[in-house]
């Protein structure tokens, strides 16, 4: 069974009901239709009104990014914005998008990795261009059975419908942007380490840390040491470090770009010195972790709105991830990557 440490977040939508677009490839397929159902189910259970969930379809997963972009652009002129969070420049008719589809390696005789990478890169492009979070629900399976399992209808192992993950991811991305627009970040992770009173530090700068919610046991170690190093080196105080939760590592570039491009309305303008992106991608049963790892690194390089420091681990086991987060495993001391990340500021 693949390793899964998915976010435990349960989200209930607020007063403003979000508008969610699902762009699905090949709705005729039993896998995709089940994944779309799972996504809709997850969204409505969290309080999204069914009338605010829109499903558009195409025949092939590689067409999802272009179709998503077209629908988003068209929605600018519509009169149906929810206004949950600010879009810089243009406002779209949807607060988040879930891309749903599947590539099966067995069915792609050559170029499977290229096909998948192109789709992942193109989905991230849409997010970076529009600032609308597009959640990655395109499965990259070795065979059909793996797809059935991830749709919760496996024949050997039933599995879990991943549509629920994607529903949560879409809503988390909306929530974190909404919080940011209200001048809020989530510093609860510092509760145990943050002193009650803080010295005034001259020239303390504002930093953001975006932290993926998958594999938090690992990510939290990196975030805590990173903050400690920023504070002990006099670059920041705990008050000038702001933590924002991204759903998974795939959501990190979109969130970092958003923080760089948008000033929160109502709150003070935050111009971050740098945005650190922390996540750990641990190999599951498919190449999903690798495609995400490669596509997010490329996307970080395309971000111009702010300096981004990537701390996304792409590893084959939880023990490897723990090692890079400074956690001792089987008597072998770990080496936290936070030490390397702060050096990137110099």
Ligand X SMILES: Nc1c(NC[C@H](O)[C@H](O)[C@H](O)CO)[nH]c(=O)[nH]c1=O
Ligand Y SMILES: CC(=O)[C@@H](O)COP(=O)(O)O
Choose between 262 and 277: whose C-beta lies nearer to ligand X.
Answer: 277
Choose between 130 and 247: whose C-beta lies nearer to ligand X.
Answer: 247
Q: Which residues pair with 162 in a beta bridge?
A: none
The contacts of residue 304 (CB under 8 Å, 6+ apart) are 260
Taking CB under 6 A as the rule, does residue 2 contact ligand Y?
yes
How far, rounded to the nearest angstrom, does the alpha carbon of residue 143 sit from its chain's CA centroid?
26
Taking CB under 6 A as the rule, does residue 288 contact ligand Y?
yes
Stretch of 23-31, 261-269, 284-292, 293-301 contacting ligand Y, by CB under 6 A: 284-292
Measuring CA to CA, which residue among 212, 229, 233, 344 is closest to residue 281?
212
- 247 binds, options ligand Y, ligand X, none, Cβ within 5 to 8 A by partner type: ligand X
The contacts of residue 343 (CB under 8 Å, 6+ apart) are none
Considering the complex, what minimum distance in angstroms separates the CB of residue 10 from ligand Y?
17
Strands 241-246 and 134-141: unpaired
CA 96 – CA 87 distance, rounded (Å): 12
Residues that bind ligand X (CB under 6 A): 135-136, 166, 169, 212, 214-215, 247-251, 279-282, 284, 289, 292
Taking CB under 6 A as the rule, does residue 154 contact ligand Y?
no
Choose between 218 and 229: whose C-beta lies nearer to ligand Y.
Answer: 218
Alpha-carbon torsion (169, 175, 181, 185), positive or negative = negative
- 286 binds, options ligand Y, ligand X, none, Cβ within 5 to 8 A by partner type: ligand Y
Stretch of 106-114, 286-294, 319-327, 338-346 contacting ligand Y, by CB under 6 A: 286-294
Choose between 227 and 315: whose C-beta lies nearer to ligand Y.
Answer: 315
Q: CB neighbours (10 Å) of residue 105?
A: 17
Measuring CA to CA, which residue among 98, 84, 82 is closest to residue 21?
98
Choose between 102 and 212: whose C-beta lies nearer to ligand X.
Answer: 212
The DSSP secondary-structure symbol of 269 reads -
Applying CB under 6 A, the site for ligand Y has a residue count of: 10
- 324 binds, options ligand X, ligand Y, none, Cβ within 5 to 8 A by partner type: none
From the list 57, 168, 286, 336, which residue makes contact with ligand Y (rule: CB under 6 A)?
286
Alpha-carbon torsion (257, 185, 232, 202), positive or negative = positive
Burial 33-62 (b: 16+ CB within 10 A, else e): ebbbebbbebbeebebeeebbbeebbeebb
Q: CB neighbours (10 Å) of residue 344?
A: 13
From the list 108, 113, 144, 285, which residue makes contact with ligand Y (rule: CB under 6 A)?
285
Q: CB neighbours (10 Å) of residue 290?
A: 17
Taking CB under 6 A as the rule, does residue 242 contact ligand Y?
no
- 166 binds, options ligand X, ligand Y, none, Cβ within 5 to 8 A by partner type: ligand X
Taking CB under 6 A as the rule, does residue 165 contact ligand Y?
yes
Choose between 169 and 204: whose C-beta lies nearer to ligand X.
Answer: 169
- 162 binds, options ligand X, ligand Y, none, Cβ within 5 to 8 A by partner type: ligand Y
Q: C-alpha dihedral over 80, 85, 87, 93, to 10 degrees? A: -20
Instruction: Identify whether the C-beta of residue 210 lies closer than 8 Å to the C-beta of residue 219.
Output: no
Choose between 245 and 249: whose C-beta lies nearer to ligand X.
Answer: 249
- 323 binds, options ligand X, ligand Y, none, Cβ within 5 to 8 A by partner type: none
How far, rounded to the nearest angstrom, does the alpha carbon of residue 9 sit from its chain's CA centroid?
13
Q: Which residues of the shown chain bind ligand Y in the complex (CB under 6 A)?
A: 2, 4, 150, 162, 165, 284-286, 288-289
């Amino acid at each position: 069974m693949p390793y899964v440490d998915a976010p435990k977040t349960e989200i209930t939508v607020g007063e403003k009901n979000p508008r969610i677009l699902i762009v699905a490839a090949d709705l005729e397929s039993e896998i995709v239709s089940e994944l779309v159902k799972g996504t809709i189910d997850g969204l409505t259970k969290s309080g999204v009104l069914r009338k605010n969930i829109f499903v558009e379809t195409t025949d092939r997963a590689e067409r999802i990014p272009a179709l998503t972009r077209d629908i988003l652009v068209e929605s600018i002129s519509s009169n149906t914005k929810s206004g949950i969070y600010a879009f810089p420049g243009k406002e779209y008719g949807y607060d988040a998008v879930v891309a749903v589809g599947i590539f099966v390696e067995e069915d792609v005789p050559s170029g499977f990795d290229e096909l998948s990478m192109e789709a992942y890169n193109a989905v991230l492009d849409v997010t970076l261009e529009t600032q609308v979070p597009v959640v990655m629900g395109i499965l990259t399976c070795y065979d059909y059975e793996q797809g059935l399992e991830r749709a919760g209808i496996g024949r050997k192992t039933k599995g879990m419908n991943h549509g629920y993950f994607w529903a949560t991811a879409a809503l988390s991305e909306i929530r974190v942007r909404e919080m940011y627009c209200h001048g809020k970040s989530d510093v609860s992770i510092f509760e145990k380490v943050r002193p009650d009173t803080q010295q005034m530090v001259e020239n303390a700068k504002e930093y953001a840390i975006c932290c993926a919610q998958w594999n938090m046991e690992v990510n939290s170690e990196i975030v805590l040491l990173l903050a400690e190093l920023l504070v002990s080196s006099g670059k920041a105080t705990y008050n000038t470090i702001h933590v924002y939760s991204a759903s998974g590592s795939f959501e990190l570039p979109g969130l970092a770009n958003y923080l760089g491009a948008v000033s929160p309305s109502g709150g003070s303008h935050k111009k971050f010195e740098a945005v650190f992106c922390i996540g750990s991608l641990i190999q599951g049963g498919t190449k999903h972790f690798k495609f995400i790892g490669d596509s997010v690194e490329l996307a970080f390089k395309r971000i111009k709105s702010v300096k981004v420091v990537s701390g996304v681990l792409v590893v084959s086991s939880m023990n490897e991830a723990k090692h890079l987060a400074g956690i001792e495993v089987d008597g072998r001391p770990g080496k936290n990557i936070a030490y390397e990340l702060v050096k990137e500021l110099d």
